[in-house]
Structure 1
Amino acid sequence: MKIVVIGGTGLIGSKLVTRLGEYGHEAVAAARNTGVDTLTGEGLAEVLSGAAVVIDVSNSPSFEESAVMQFFETSTRNLLAAESEAGVGHHVALSVVGTERLPDSGYFQAKLAQERLIEKAGIPFSLVHATQFFEFTRTIADAASTDGRTVRIAPVLYQPIAGDEVAKEVGRTAVGSPLNGRVEIAGPEQFRMDEFFRDALAAWGDPRQVVTDPDARYFGAELHERSLVPGEGAVLGEIRYADWPGRV
């Protein structure tokens, strides 16, 4: 089965292409560096020819509010239109747990806009909502550090997941029947977010102090107790952060 992975040269996309190929599928990585640009539509018709499934794991190069909204709306419209022309039978998109719960975040609102376009397109679809990746721990810590000496984190629930397990579940969803809905995935353990980052920075030997701050923002959004964790019925990974090779 031909499966086109939009964003197929990135963190999750490259893992997907490898995993799908190992299971005998024709997995094609589509990205700007392979001649496919979803913002302009360049290369879409060619790469989607004969595709049964499209997986979109692409991401905006900018998280600025207007730029990220433009990226997800424009690229998703172009991609869905090209899929309709090509007769693609299943559109899979990777999104984020909590998109509907963080109205103050321009990024989350852009992902929500993407999901609404997918839901209305008429192409059978599946949405995979993942929690934060282990691989983004340093990025999140840096975003929460404004003075270079402290990292301000809210004491809310936090349940990150390894990128390998995200790729595994997205791939499994892609080769199955369309959900026409969503599945949530998360790591096997819940933490308090401030405690998780305090332990992570200590393991890195990072001298910054993690300050517990109930008012700390997460990429501009106010967090509540369960803003970032899934509901009941989520698919849970098996890799614990303490056992993940990239944690230090």
Structure 2
Amino acid sequence: MSLLPKPNEIHIEGLNKSYAPQAAGDVHYIIQDVNLVVKGGEFFVLLGPSGCGKSTLLSLIAGFVSKTSGQVKVGEKEVERPGQDRAVVFQQADSSLFPWLTVRENVEFGLRMKRIPAVRRKEVSDRFISLVGLKGHENKFPRELSGGMKQRVQLARVLSNDPAILLMDEPFGALDAMTRRTMQRELVNIWRDTDKTVIFVTHDIQEALLLGGRIGIMSSGPASQITHVYEVPLGYPRDLTTPEFQRLYNQIQSHFDD
């Protein structure tokens, strides 16, 4: 007897996304024949060069764009539109935060839209504001926050809505190196604390190895595919100076060497 997929599992089969033909028979594929299973509660990294279609694949899973053909399922349901079970964290927090709302008000925004009572909203926002390390900053506005703090607010707001799946599109790409490393550690802690499924997009091999339980390598576009999937048999927190880390780094780097 086959087991039903978990609600936070993602199944992708024969997935294609193409531009509209420019001429008869002239089809331009962004991604072509992508096959992938992301297990429930897994931290999966999509790694590939800029422009290879990573963000397009993430948008297809999110339901922001429609597929050309193939299948994208979350649990047993085909993805046809955005849903509350999937939340996206973008690279630029400024575009997703409301500048006229405080940290707490931003985090509680989705709960307010669901008409959650004020007492419960405060309980939830307190939990996730603390979880992302922003306790004491509840009454600040986005203009008073650093880039890293804004990303923490974005993450707390996403988590407060309790999605089963986090889709993260190079969320730390605009941060300085020290803040980025801090946020990477915090994200691992949050993932382990909440047991959500995470798909994280990056073009940084080191970041992929610091975060991922598995790493999917995407080929250069057009018509990009997931060509290899690596298991990362390293515990957390990870030490990038160890021989095993360096071995995996060099092995993955070989896919991108000319």
Q: TM-score, normalised by structure 2?
A: 0.26
Q: TM-score, normalised by structure 1?
A: 0.27
If each structure's strand is expressed as a fraction of its own residues, which one has the higher value? 2
Taking CA–CA contacts closer than 8 Å with sequence separation of 6 or more, which of the two structures ends up with the larger relative contact order? Answer: 2
If each structure's helix is expressed as a fraction of its own residues, which one has the higher value? 1
